[in-house]
Amino acid sequence: MDLRTFGWDEDFARHFEPFGQRGLSVARVTLEHQHIYTVQTAEGELLATVAGGLRHRAAGRHEFPAVGDWVAMSPPAQSGRGVIQAVLPRRSKFSRKVSGRVTTEQVVAANIDTVFLMMGLDGDYNLRRIERYLITAFDGGASPVVVLNKADLCADVAARVREVQAVAQSAPVHAVSTMQDGLLDVLDVYLGAGRTIALLGSSGVGKSTLVNRLVGHAMQATREVREGDQRGRHTTTRRQLIVVTGGALLIDTPGLRELQLWDGAGGIDQTFDDIEVLGAGCRFRDCRHDAEPGCAVKAAAGAGQLDGSRLESYLLLRRERAFLAGQQDERVAQERKRYARTISKVLRDFKPRE
């Protein structure tokens, strides 16, 4: 198996050189189970587990392998499973904060070239959700593309596209339908051989149907959305890397019920570039565009030059980002205290040899 089919290139090869000198082999993670992975090697597909040393070195779950990662692996043991010793540096990633109160990063997909941010032109339509997706894509280093599915169910597709383009700024926006022939051709430009595309969106948006259309057969199960609220039900239950017709690589993901930011600093600036440009005219350099006098952004919103709901979303996301940064700093401080206590205990218990 030529690993270039799975996106291998000279840049990854340079990072792998020291591991190759140790007799390790390279593989790409194509499926993540619970505590076990399916990986693609030059010899074929096999199962792999994470080495104890890697578990010990990892600062958190985000340093464990994710679908799309390239890993250095020991040869299969008697069990027939490989042992992942290291994760090669990621070129890009799509991360979010895990659900709940825990302040931890979850890597949804790694080493992706393009992110298809999918949203339905039905009850799923939500501009504020697209802003969150864009922020996370920009932060992770992948190129976002907004894919508006179910164009066949929308009375005024052109109007919806214009609304999304105003939010997406520089990101391309395409209206498609997975149920009608010919309306997916616009995506072909992103589906080059060896290119990795992650599919992200809420349940019922049509990710699995898109995969099936691009693969050419029913590889992923699909289900109808509920008639009452047009909300979908999970059909994809795990992240998986799939080779489609033409050689592109798709990472299908379960529907995201919520998307909490993990970083957001640079992504907010890129997603709200129009507000950043207007902000250059504010009286104060550190204007937060909230209650300060002489705010050019608020003046633009009052004059109808900037959508007021977009400004509200920007302020909300900036506050969320600041709160998360505080939680992350607190978590780092707590980890340092735990580490210091552990070292102190080791030193207290240490008894030199007679």
Per-residue pLDDT tens over the stretch 234-249: 444 578 899 988 899 9
Q: Which CATH class is domain 93-252?
A: alpha beta
Give the pLDDT mean for 284-307. 91
Residue scoring higher pLDDT (266 or 204):
204
Position 230 pLDDT exceeds 50 = no
Give the DSSP H or E segment for 44: strand 44-50
Integer Cα distance of 94 and 137 in angstroms: 6
Q: Categorize the per-residue pLDDT at 16 as very low, low, confident or very high, splitting at 50, 70 and 90.
A: very high
Q: What is the pLDDT of residue 254?
A: 73
Q: What is the pLDDT of residue 227?
A: 46
CB 129 within 8 A of CB 259: yes
Smallest Cα–Cα separation from 261: which of 173, 137, 119, 112? 137
Integer Cα distance of 219 and 16 in angstroms: 32
Q: Which CATH class is domain 272-326?
A: mainly alpha
Q: What is the pLDDT of residue 226?
A: 42
The reply to whether 3-87 and 272-326 are identical in fold is no
CATH code linked to domain 3-87: 2.40.50.140
Most confident by average pLDDT, 103-112, 128-137, 184-193: 184-193
Smallest Cα–Cα separation from 149: which of 118, 181, 172? 118
Q: Which two three-digit tokens encode residue 36? A: 């076990």
Q: Which two three-digit tokens encode residue 263? A: 């970083």
Q: pTM of the prediction? A: 0.79
Position 74 pLDDT exceeds 50 = yes
Give the pLDDT mean for 194-219. 84
Q: What is the pLDDT of residue 268?
A: 86
Domain extents in the chain: 3-87, 93-252, 272-326
H helix intervals, 141-281: 157-168, 207-215, 265-271, 273-279
The full length of the chain comes to: 354
Integer Cα distance of 169 and 214 in angstroms: 27
Give the pLDDT mean for 9-21. 96
Q: Categorize the per-residue pLDDT at 156 as very low, low, confident or very high, splitting at 50, 70 and 90.
A: very high
